[in-house]
Structures are given as structure tokens and as C-alpha cells.
Amino acid sequence: MFKLILGLGNQDIETSKKIAYIYSQSNIDIIDSSFEVFKEIKKFLEDKSIDTSKIKFCVSVGLLGDIHNKKAKINKNCAKCKKCISFCSQKAIEITNEEIKVNSKKCIGCSKCRHFCSFGAIDIYEENSLENNIEQIKNNTLKPDILELHLDIKKKKKIIKDFEYVLKNYKGDISICISRKYFGIKKIIKLIKKLKEIFDKYNKGFHFMIQADGSSMNNADGEYSSNLEALAFYKELSDLGYDIIISGGTNDKTPYLCKLFNLKPYAVAYGSYARKTALENEKKAQELVLKTAQLYD
């Protein structure tokens, strides 16, 4: 399965439409985006005569504190050196009338610009509360096929509480996106088992998936090494017997590495690399879909 990640923080609808269209011509399986982008691209693809019944639309929402829920903004310390503009892989930092600004629709909250700016001129803030996001999804007639929850925060009790809140308010297939950022593997496995228990209590009969996130948002450019964290994490979780999606640091080397190590994830999710490739080289983007499909031959 090929999963295209347009990104929870990415609200750039026009670019998302273009990328989704390029990949959906090659039979992709899942498109993951924010709720706003989902509503727009589903209609756009249908208008372009793409058979969207073959695509699962996944809407991502983040717990407060998760990196995917964050945005950057420039503060008054900005020395207008302009260095950060070329540094941002999403081209989210723009200059208008000598003012440096972050375009929040493009910013994915990776925080890399913040570490790069030597003037301490970039702050990171959080955009949407989980409750607002769930209310919006609940009250809309257009429903996603999968709801993905990004759970990368330090507080285990809060993860459990928020997960329970979501499942009390939303019925359907659920994916949880988690990395090894805050917990060791034993604690993660214990946490996943607890979340699965809650899932079975409220959403029995629906599909439970785990997105094992490796080196998140690293814009992996054709490197083998960027994959290793995600592949190792997949391997550590594979005995649980749940459907696991590999993500974070994935690129055109991922299908090769999966074959080499005999790994068969439920899906391979491509984010920054897929977006960049589609915009630079459509043919290469479509080859990525084929290479991924060969994993399941």
C-alpha cells in the first residue's frame, strides 16, 4: 500500500491538489491530510475523473504538543538577514515589503528554522485544539475513511485521556501515529496495548492501525540512512500483530530496504520526500508508487 502524506500542518490547498493528482494517476491507496485539505482534494480529484472510491482518505489530527500540530512565527528579534527563507523545505517563509513572515498554510511546524535562526527570532506555537478538530469532523457530512491521531507528546496519561475522548466522539477506522521520541520501546508497547483496549471498547469492528514514525519531517533526499529509524521501529512493533504503516524518513530507498530485510508493512507512507519529488519530477513520483506496489507482489 502506498500512503501519500500531504501533512497535518500543510494547508497549502493548491499545491496539495497538484501533488494528489500526480500520485492518484498511479493507483495510490491512501491520501493523508488535514481535514481542510481533504475536503478540497477529494472534490478536486473527482472533478478530474479520478476514481476516488479506490483511495482511502485519511484525516490527521494532533494532540496538543505533537510536532505535527505546530507552526512557526517570526518575532520582533528578526534581523531580516533572510537566511531562513532558503532553509525552509516547505518554502513557507516569505518576504513581503521587507517583512519576513511565515505562511502558516505552508508551514508544517518542523521547527528546523527555529534552530537555524541565530537571533532567536522564530517562535513555535500550536494551532488547533483536538476538541475543535474532532467537532469539525463530526459536524461535517463528508467523512474521512481513516482518522489518524498524532500522539507524540511526553504525557502518557494525557495520551490515554485524549484517545478515549476521541473514540467516544468518533466511530470509524483509526490510525495512531507514534514515534520513539519520548518513550522506550517497552513503554510504547504497553501504551499501544492500552490504546487498543480502549479502541476495542468504543470502536470494535473498525480497523486499528499504527503509523510507526521514524525520523519525522526530515525531507529525506534519497538517503538509505534516513529510513533506519522507521524500519527498526516497525520491526520492534511487528510482533504485536497489528497493521503497521512505516513513515518518517521514507524515500525511494524504502521499498528496496523493506525487501532486503523482508519487511511487509501494511503501508509505506511518504511525506516530505513524496511532495518534493512530485513537484520536481512527476515520472520519478510515479515510479515510487510502482516500486512500493512491488513490495506486495
CB of 74 to ligand SF4, least distance (A): 5
**Judged by CB, which is closer to ligand SF4: 87, or 261?**
87
Closest listed residue to residue 28, CA positions, set 216, 276, 270? 270
How far is Cα 80 from Cα 91, in angstroms, rounded to an integer? Answer: 16
8 Å CB contact between 2 and 296: no
* Closest separation in Å from C-beta 98 to ligand SF4: 11
- 117 vs 166, beta carbon nearer ligand SF4: 117
In the complex, least distance from residue 278 CB atom to ligand SF4, rounded to whole angstroms = 17
Instruction: Name the minimum Å distance from CB 200 to ligand SF4.
Output: 37
**Cβ at position 99, least distance to ligand SF4 in Å:** 10
Residues of this chain that bind ligand SF4 (CB under 6 A): 72, 74, 78-84, 88, 90, 92-93, 100, 102, 107-113, 117, 119, 121-122
Q: Which CB, 13 or 195, lies closer to ligand SF4?
A: 13
Q: How far apart are CA 76 and CA 121, in angstroms?
A: 7
Residue 94 burial (CB count, 10 A) = 13
82 vs 168, beta carbon nearer ligand SF4: 82
Measured CA to CA, the distance from residue 85 to residue 69 in angstroms comes to 21
* Strand 146-150 to 122-126 pairing: unpaired
Closer to ligand SF4 by CB, 55 or 74: give it: 74
Rounded least distance, CB 71 to ligand SF4, Å = 7
Task: Give Cβ neighbours of residue 100 (< 8 Å, ≥ 6 apart).
Answer: 74, 78, 80, 82, 84, 85, 93, 94
- Identity of the residue, 218 or 251, whose beta carbon is nearer to ligand SF4 in the bound complex: 218
